């Protein structure tokens, strides 16, 4: 291992808390002041937009913990708990109780983008699957996340890894767009052929 890379439990560098404790189903309120991120909203950036989130109203007895920029969301159930990094979420937004919110506390040591990347790394995912293997619903305990062993290189190395990852994601997105356009062309050609028209 690189001599400059530290190995620390997640609890030493970040705080983990569970989403808002709703009682029963989350009531939808059309003009509600609070938005709610649910498991289904973690599928793409579009489903995390303000327009896509459920709106509700919370009891005023206890002030909620709203999510913040660069918080990391992690599902507490499922066979593959993918980490999602929040980028400027809408104001007054909470999470459902099926999500953990992870907030970096050792900001001088760890980049939130790098932590999100590492939580999705195959080795950390393997640790999480081992922890949830005995559960019928593949639920992940908060303590299991706090005890995850993280490899933390210098911040400059973290930034390089994040930059390379972003470049790869942009390339993958462009390839996906090209494939979708090609599929549409093939479908249009097939339709013309079925109708007996020449290409």
- Which two tokens mark 28? 């939808």
137: CATH: 3.90.220.20
Phi/psi of residue 152, nearest 5 degrees? -120, 100
What total of structural domains would you count in the chain?
2
Q: What is the DSSP string of 59-119?
A: -SSS------TT-EEEESSSSS--EEE-SSPPSSEEE-TTEEEEEES-TTT--HHHHHHHH
Going residue by residue through the chain, which has 199 residues, state the pLDDT in tens, using 9 for 90 and above.
455 778 999 999 999 999 998 888 899 999 999 999 999 998 887 889 999 999 999 987 778 899 999 999 998 877 678 899 999 999 999 999 999 999 999 999 999 999 999 999 988 888 888 776 555 666 888 999 999 999 999 999 999 999 998 888 788 778 888 888 888 889 888 888 888 765 4
Beta strand pairing call for 93-95 and 34-37: parallel
What range does the domain containing 176 cover?
154-199
Question: 2: how many CB neighbours lie within 10 A of its CB?
Answer: 9
Residue 1 included in any domain: no
């Amino acid at each position: 291992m690189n001599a400059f890379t530290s190995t620390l439990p997640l609890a030493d560098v970040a705080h983990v808390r569970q989403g808002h404790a709703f009682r029963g189903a989350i009531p939808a309120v059309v003009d509600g002041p609070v938005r709610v991120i649910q498991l289904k909203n973690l599928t793409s950036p579009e489903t995390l937009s303000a327009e896509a989130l459920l709106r509700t109203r919370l009891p005023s007895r206890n002030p909620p913990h709203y999510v913040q920029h660069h918080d990391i969301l992690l599902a507490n159930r499922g066979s593959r708990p993918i980490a999602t990094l929040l980028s400027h979420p809408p104001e007054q937004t909470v999470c459902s109780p099926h999500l953990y919110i992870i907030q970096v506390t050792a900001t001088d040591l760890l980049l939130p983008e790098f932590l999100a990347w590492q939580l999705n790394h195959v080795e950390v995912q393997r640790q999480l699957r081992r922890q949830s293997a005995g559960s019928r619903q593949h639920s992940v305990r908060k303590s299991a996340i706090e005890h995850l062993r993280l490899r933390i290189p210098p911040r400059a190395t973290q930034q390089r890894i994040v930059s390379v990852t972003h470049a790869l994601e942009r390339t993958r997105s462009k390839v996906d767009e090209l494939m979708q356009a090609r599929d549409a062309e093939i479908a249009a050609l097939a339709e013309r052929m079925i109708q007996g028209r020449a290409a």
